[in-house]
Every structure is written in structure tokens, then in C-alpha cells.
Amino acid sequence: MNKIIVPVLTASLIHQGDQQSSAALNETKVSNTELSTKEINTVELQVTEQASSVKGRYKTGSSFFNDMAYSVEDYNGLFITDRIEAHNFRHRISQPGYISSWHVAGDPTLIIIRSGTLRITLRSGEYRDFSAGDLFVAEDRLQINEAFDDLVHGHRAELIGDQTLMAVHIKLASI
């Protein structure tokens, strides 16, 4: 085992001069590439600096799923990634029938499903179901000073089935 694949919910960026969607900065960030955590943090910083240098020229497009590969190292039979910094964590419980409104995650959040099945639906109609033992990172967010557009931005979360959802949300410093 030399990598761990984690689904990441992110948002595309659209150049305001273009009419068609462009995920140029997100493609720079990570696109199904195997990177170490240190490399990912470096790319994240480069993308942040790149986005800062083009203030006002990009706006947030629709959310999409992308798989991120984390490299693991053999530590005496324990295969482990580099350290990933986190700010805090919260426990979550949602009852059967729960459906959220459209929203963005904001800060990158690792979500670990403990029980139940959570469906994440995108504006395109694409969805993924996450059940006990699954995890994913939600990091779709808006640009600074950008207003949420209820017809374009975000994703919706829905509890599927009749089992209570129990999850842990871990706010990450970066991914």
C-alpha cells in the first residue's frame, strides 16, 4: 500500500472574462495526482497566492468531486501519511429525513461517517453516498467577498434510509 484515495468535494473557478467554466486554478491544485501532504500544502499555497494575484478576475463555479491521493510511508508495518494539521472537530447527529439547503463547506472539512448514509448531491445532479466507515473532504467555498448564488453554488446533504447519521467533522488547516 503506497497511497490512500480520499474523495474531495471542491468548487471550480470561472474566469470572469470567460463565459465557459474553467477550473484552471483547481486543476493546478490537484487533479488525481499522487502527492505527499507536504507537496499538497505547497501546491495549496501556490494556488492561494495565484488566486490572490488575480483578485476579482475569478468567481466560484459549481461544485464537483475529485479524488486526492495521499502518499503513505511504511513505519514498521504501519502505513501512514504525513501529518495533516487540523483546527478542531465536532460530532454530528442527524435524524432520518434530514435534508440541508444548498450550501458550501467553506473551510476544508474531513467528514467521517460513523453510522447512517449521507448523500451529497451536486447542482449537476451527480451524487455520492457515504456510509459508515466512509470519509470525504468537503472544501467547496466562495471567493472572498463573493455572494452565494442559489442557482450555481454548493451542494446539498441528505440522510438516506431510516438510520440516524452519526459523523465526525474535522476542520482542516489545509488539504
All 3 cell numbers of residue 119? Answer: 448523500
| Region label for 28, one of left (φ > 0), alpha (ψ between -120 and 50) or beta (otherwise) | alpha
Nearest to 146 by CA among 22, 60, 53, 52: 60
**Per-residue model confidence (pLDDT) at position 94:** 96
Regions of the chain short of the pLDDT cut 50 = 19-52, 54
Q: Do you know the residue count of the chain? A: 175
Tell me the per-residue pLDDT of 48-92, one tens digit each, with 9 for 90 and over: 444 445 455 788 889 999 999 999 999 888 889 988 899 999 999
Any residues with CB less than 8 A from the CB of 87 and at least 6 apart, and which? 107, 171, 172, 173
**Per-residue model confidence (pLDDT) at position 56:** 58
- State the DSSP string of 97-134: T-BPPSB---S-EEEEEEESEEEEEETTS-EEEEETT-
CATH of domain 3-172: 2.60.120.10
Say if residues 28 and 50 touch (Cβ distance below 8 Å): yes
Q: Could you tell me the residue ranges of all domains in the chain?
A: 3-172
Place of cell 442559489: 150
pTM over 0.75: no
C-alpha separations of 154 from 47, 138, 148, 151, 163 in Å: 20, 10, 8, 9, 25
**Per-residue model confidence (pLDDT) at position 16:** 73
Say if residues 39 and 89 touch (Cβ distance below 8 Å): no
Percent of the chain scoring above 70 in pLDDT: 77
